[in-house]
Structures are given as structure tokens and as C-alpha cells.
Structure 1
């Protein structure tokens, strides 16, 4: 079972930019995630092809199950 924390930001041009964190530490605290995202925006370190991060849009955990089948 692979989990990913996906952070969504609104860029300076009104587009959506995403950052993914594999295997996030659980339990996930929404207020801590939001504070971290606001720090990322304030630092100006991250940018995307759609512009600099301007505001927090949201966050979600994606839980993916993969079942492999042997082909004989």
C-alpha cells in the first residue's frame, strides 16, 4: 500500500501547482500541513512552470493499492 501526500498551491497566475510527498508520516495533522505549505510559499524556494506559489489550495492523501498478477 503506497501513500502519497499531495500538496496543492495556487500560483501567481491563478493556476494549480502540486508537490507530492511519498510515504508521509501519519497521522497527518491538517493544521501542521497548512503551516508548512505557508512557509514554503513565504520562502519563495518553490516555483513551477505556472509561476510562483501564491496561496494554499489544499492537500490530500492518495492511497494506492497495486495488485500484480503473474503471467504464465
Structure 2
């Protein structure tokens, strides 16, 4: 499954991981090109990468589709 684009700027995002020897790995989503507006969004420890990708793409994929249809206000409220 691929990641939906950023709902705020339309930029490309990517999956990143962080490893903590006490807690294990956690996954996050960040912009391909760093943006001050949207920092890396981290999932809780124990949430696997597939779950994070699915949740991001479902929520923000809908917002991006609404924006493409000219429903910017509704997309902003969803994002």
C-alpha cells in the first residue's frame, strides 16, 4: 500500500522508523523534503508499519480526493 500525499501541501511523504532499545521500534511519517509546517508524525510503540500506512492513507487519501473535487473546506476539516 502506498502513502497518500500530504493533505496540506500535496507533498510526498515517506515512512521512517526509530529504534529504542527499551521499547522496540516505532514508525512515523515525514515529508520527503522537510517542511516546518508538518513535523514527523510518530505512531505509538507497538503499532506496526502496515497499520500506520493504512490509517494515514485512508484518512488523508479521502481529504486529498475531496480537495481534488474542489471541496477544500471539507478537506481541511477532515485533515
TM-score (norm 2): 0.29
Structure number having the greater helix percentage? 2
Structure number having the greater strand percentage? 1
Structure showing greater Rg: 1
TM-score (norm 1): 0.30
